[in-house]
């Protein structure tokens, strides 16, 4: 199953949304510091948004460590980087993904990355200030949810669902 996880990250690297959808379990879920608990539809919408905007934000995904077995059965750990523009600010995000497989498909994905480092790159001094006053997590989650809501509202595949 590690090969499945490597194929999955490879599909993301290739920005191949159709291939991703074929690799996801029908109940696929995603979580990370910005998008903490996405159901299947919103997970798919998030990847659709990222991939569709790749030319605008110059997103490049690099698979840095092949998948290895994780602590639980059917769980794998891998790392990848995501380089992109957040507005005009360049961001280099190093991500550790824990991916759970079910029925031969990618079922659950939890990505971890240092939100403070992300905020410093993407928001500059404002990101650092928000972290210092303890508001960074809440604001990032709120803005990410609003952005995803806007994307869903404009795309028939996701509009008014989930």
- pTM for the full model? 0.94
Full pLDDT tens readout for the chain, 162 residues: 999 999 999 999 999 999 999 999 999 999 999 999 999 999 999 999 999 999 999 999 999 999 999 999 999 999 999 999 999 999 999 999 999 999 999 999 999 999 999 999 999 888 888 888 889 999 999 999 999 999 999 999 998 765
Domains of the chain: residue spans and CATH = 2-113 (3.10.450.50)
Task: Name, in order, each residue with C-beta under 8 angstroms of 162's C-beta and a sequence gap of 6 or more.
Answer: 39, 40, 41, 42
């Amino acid at each position: 199953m590690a090969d499945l996880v490597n194929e999955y990250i490879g599909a993301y690297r290739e920005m191949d949304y159709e291939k991703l959808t074929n690799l996801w379990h029908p109940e696929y879920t995603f979580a990370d510091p910005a998008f903490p608990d996405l159901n299947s539809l919103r997970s798919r919408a998030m990847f659709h948004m990222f991939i569709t905007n790749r030319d605008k934000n110059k997103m490049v995904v690099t698979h840095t460590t092949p998948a290895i077995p994780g602590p639980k059965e059917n769980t794998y750990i891998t790392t990848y980087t995501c380089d992109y523009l957040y507005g005009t600010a360049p961001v280099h995000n190093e991500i550790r993904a824990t991916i759970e497989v079910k029925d031969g498909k990618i079922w659950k994905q939890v990505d971890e990355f240092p939100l403070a480092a992300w905020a410093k790159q993407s928001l500059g001094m404002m990101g650092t200030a928000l972290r210092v006053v303890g508001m960074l997590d809440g604001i990032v989650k709120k803005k990410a949810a609003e952005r995803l809501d806007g994307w869903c509202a404009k795309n028939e595949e996701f509009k008014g669902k989930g």
